[in-house]
Structure 1
Amino acid sequence: MEKVKTQALVKVGFLSATAFILMYLEFQVPLFPGFLKLDLSDIPALVASFAIGPLYGVMVELIKNILHATITQSGGIGEIANFTVGAIFVATAGLIYHLNKTRKTALIAMAVATLVMSVSASLLNYYVFLPLYQKVMGFPMDAIIGMGKMANKRIVDLKTLIAYGIFPFNLLKGFVISAITFLIYKKISPLFKA
């Protein structure tokens, strides 16, 4: 039992380091505000969630964000948001997948997790994270909305920022992360299964 836990923690460490590195490979997606950048750092967490268990996927999300918090310019708010939304995504997918470990269940799990993440990210940004940026970082909401409007003219207030920025961005992010994970998981999963 102790050997299994140690092996799982080593795998989590490796996947966390990989996720941390992948956070640096971010790029902006046209039509979305500049502060929304797509990176692939949720892939290792999703692999951990499927191969070892949902709790381990959440651990990968936590460790990568703790590491990133040491070099952040977001006052830690970006890392808290990244962790929360990423943890919701990988935990949801992992919990569903572990009910019946098949390819079909994996697809369903990732689709449901993408939708849950997108709705959660929208609500959390509307009620928590964007107001927190405004309060803690002194970043005016008008400036945040202005960044959105530069990318998409339909963004004119906080509600449209959520509707045309945050929600569709997270749908796209979930789809990309899910598609890549689906393509590579079968090949790499023997390395990480507990």
Structure 2
Amino acid sequence: MQAKSKKLIFIAVLLTGCIITSLISTNDKEKTLLGSSMQSAQGTVTSKATQAKSVRVQVSGAVLEPGIYDLPANCRVEEAIAAAGGLTENADSERVNLVRKVRDGMQIRVPVQKAAWISRTQRKNAQATAGYSASSTKKVGSTRAGAGKNNSAVQRVRINSASVSELQQLPGIGPALAQRIVETRNSGRFTSADDLLRVPGIGKAKLAKLRDYVEVD
């Protein structure tokens, strides 16, 4: 009887051990699955956050450098226009909401002033019927020459000491881009005009337009 009792006790202990081992194994599997799910969810959130850091927009119309630009998320229309070289002389900025936030895939079209558009249309019609005359060619040439003289007379802006408002006097530089110039020089003074390429939103084309208007002090 004692041997039989011992055998029954041994079997009971063995079964209890198997049950406990099975429960521990199941719990470990559940933890592993839960950890994998959490890592996957975190990866998805991180990916979406990375995509939200920048937006791609198309800027067209009365700007100096129309095209497609990648800009920081939550930026404004004025920053997108600044990245496109700024407004042209005949741009109608009153019909553009400059403080509107841009979104990915957005097209920003800057309209031309109505008077300028009418004048340009009339000029095209006149040229189509009568063609270019020698006098009109000379007039255009003299106008361009006069514009060159005016550009040479423009006072240069000292990019290492100019204020945000003074920097906005430069062609194609709006409030947002002027602020970026100040922030960039605070991390390291400009040693030449080429250092303006360090400023986000200023590329080689824009730098070429700024060279005659800036100086390093």
- Would the TM-score normalized by the shorter structure come out above 0.5? no
Larger radius of gyration: 2
Higher relative contact order structure (alpha carbons within 8 Å, sequence separation ≥ 6): 1
Q: Which structure has more helix as a fraction of its residues? A: 1
Tell me the TM-score normalized by structure 1.
Answer: 0.26
Q: Which structure has more strand as a fraction of its residues? A: 2
